[in-house]
Amino acid sequence: MPRTCLSVILAAGEGTRMKSSRAKVLHEVAGLPMVAHAVLAAKAAGTDAVALVTGRDAEAVEKAARAVAPQSTVHVQAERLGTAHAVLAARASIEPGFDDLLILFGDTPLVRSQTLEAARAVLAEGADICVVGFRTADPTGYGRLIEREGDVIAIREEKDASADEKKIGFCNAGIMAVRGETVLSLLDAVGNNNAKGEYYLTDIVAIARERGGVVKAIEAGAEEVLGVNNRVELAAVEAIWQDRKRREAMLAGATLIAPETVFFSFDTALGLDVVVEPNVVFGLGVVVADGVAIHAFSHLEGAKLARGTSVGPYARLRPGTDLGEGAKVGNFCETKNARIEAGAKVNHLSYIGDARIGSNTNVGAGTITCNYDGLNKWFTDIGANVFVGSDTALVAPVSVADGAFIGSGSVITEDVPADALAIARSRQVVKEGRAVEIRARTAAMKAQKSSKPA
């Protein structure tokens, strides 16, 4: 029978070094708050329930966590009395009983679910506690994991470590898996007889050992357990996350011409044989099917791209954009809340918002849908096989039926029937020889200005 698991995510820190009006754990990595990254990792590791310990901006932190785990329980740590005290704030969620308890932090967004699974596996093999550690060439400031014959016998903080212990490069990452049946007893036994008068989670290692328990450690990569305390560290974590995602995308069948210049969101989904040129940014909510080409300097957000579509260069796809199979949105075009159906083309310098462009329709350069009247948004509906001439303004609400032809430079304010030609511009007037007169007149004006004293 599968082991049950509760994950307690500590997210109550003030985060003063972020110099921000928001709680630290609300700052985003790849468009997702850090606390939500931790929740997703816990869920992927087989967590049955999530208990969130909050402090500053409790409602906003709760909202961020519940966006990815709606059934999360929330517990406020009113006083900051140490990590063990923080875990005990979730007592009501711990008491029902779980086989495993995972303890992790809302400001370590790079932790992998595989690491959490490995820690749980150690409990399944009989350990009472599994501590996640990492190795670093410069362990200064970190608690050291003291091991003997494969067991962790203590976690020694830097200030309490001997000279030999300070040479140990195996450090405490803070993440733990604890056997559920003993965790409350261990936490309740933690005292605060220390310089800060706080209750330290690390003390449960010694307590468990004194009771004859088994404490093991597993090793995670140092980058994986990086915590974020300021914006410099936030940028470093973002860079690591992006490198991970780029590698995953390429190994999964996408071509990134210049990977280091492509930026993803946490939920970006790419199909097979997608080609992404340099300097492309994926905002939230982008789904790309097989065989799509995304050309350089394009920005996509909230968009769905069907098989074989082409975007850019220098295109901006805003939320609600839905490209049908083989559709094209070309250079310097912007779309928003627009369905562009199979084979349709919006090639150059156009804005298509709150609109449908039917299959195999061609939208000429400089065309815009005039969808906003200052208060309300209005819809433009263009049918299949329509030709829209360059520099056309479609004043919504308006519809153009299948097969219609719109003359270049038109301002379309009324519906156009199927297979009709619509021209809405002033008739051209030609006056022979008038250009000579105009040039003579303007030259005389210029000469008159030049003759005046300065």
Catalytic residue positions?
348
The H or E element spanning position 29 is strand 28-29
Q: In which element (H, E) is residue 63 found?
A: helix 58-66
Burial class (CB in 10 A: 0-12, 13-18, 19+), 52: buried
Find the length of the chain. Answer: 454
Strands (E), 39-188: 49-54, 73-76, 100-105, 129-135, 144-148, 151-156, 170-179
Strand 170-179 relative to strand 129-135, pairing: antiparallel
The answer, yes or no, to whether the previous bond of 70 is cis (omega within 30 of 0) is no
**Position 384: which residue type?**
A
Going by the DSSP 8-state scheme, the letter that residue 293 receives in this structure is E
DSSP assignment of 324-351: PTT-EEEET-EEEEEEE-TT-EEEES-E
Asked if 257 and 270 count as a contact pair (C-beta separation under 8 A), the reply is: no
Token readout for 334 is 């912007």
Q: How far apart are CA 72 and CA 329, in angstroms?
A: 41
* Residues paired with 345 in a beta bridge: 328, 362
The sign of the dihedral angle between the CA atoms of 34, 55, 114, 71 is negative
- Residue 363: which H helix or E strand, with range? strand 362-363
Q: Are 337 and 354 in contact (CB under 8 A)?
A: yes
CB 127 within 8 A of CB 164: no
